[in-house]
Amino acid sequence: MKRECDALQQERYSDPTGDHVTPAHLPRALRFCPSDFLATPQELFAHSASDLDPYYSSRPGRPARMIRCDAPSDEILLYTSASCLDQHDVYGDRRAASSCVFKPTGLEPSESRSAALRLELRGPTGQIHPQESNRAHIRAAIVALQCRQWREEGWSSVVIASDSEYLVEGITNWVEIWQEDGWRTSRDTGDSREGDTVANQDLWEILLEEVLECSARGLEVKFWLIVHALNKGAQAEARHAAETLRDEESYCRYLYVWEYST
């Protein structure tokens, strides 16, 4: 893991917590790599409501979030994932969905801990796209940034933890190369067929816009690649959405919900 992060990030700077992130100017989204490369999300962020009291004494009125607990911080964790039923069945009824888990456990049963939706059949431009997991993973990150007003709640940084290498590498590394090459694939990004149109360009552009909008409001957005075993909650939410939610025809912005307190 450490070698992987070092190879990806030749130039790095350290934030006040000691973690390493990619430079702000290249790429536009930050790659989160803990100073302890073996650290898990459960070790760095509070995952239970009962663990939040020490960190909320100086933050009265804020909704319960998975807050960074190993250092003084206004940084929170969001899990995202995706699911696609029958993805490898060409003739099957493929159903993709996206999810974001943004609250700790142990809250009142009536409180929603997550946001989930079916992947729309048409993208932002109105073009029809196949139901598949890579696209749903990008959509999950968009939902994560749209579902709440994180900066207005008082947070300065959000860490999006995803089990999708496609998403994390794409937004923190490949997207800059794609933009420079006119949204054409490149061998520099591991594409076997150089010069093809980049898949899911419409959603990549939306995600970039969301990251830049957050940055303009003073909110850092970081992406953390985690293993599947550490993301079971978001995976379960995405699968449940794929199984139970109705088809969505057209893309629309996920409207945030304002929470004053828990």
> Would you list the domain boundaries of the chain?
2-244
Residue 179, classified by CB atoms within 10 Å of its CB into exposed (0-12), middle (13-18) or buried (19+), is middle
Q: What is the pLDDT of residue 83?
A: 97
Q: d(Cα 212, Cα 129) in Å, to the nearest integer?
A: 25
Q: What is the pTM of this model?
A: 0.85
For tokens 């591991």, name the residue.
Answer: 190
Q: What is the pLDDT of residue 110?
A: 62
Q: What is the pLDDT of residue 2?
A: 33
Q: What is the pLDDT of residue 189?
A: 66
Q: Which CATH class is domain 2-244?
A: alpha beta
For tokens 């930050």, name the residue.
Answer: 30
Beta-ladder partners of 221:
158
Q: What is the pLDDT of residue 72?
A: 65
Amino acid at 215: S
Q: State which residues of the chain have pLDDT below 70.
A: 1-28, 55-60, 72, 90-91, 109-110, 187-194, 256-262
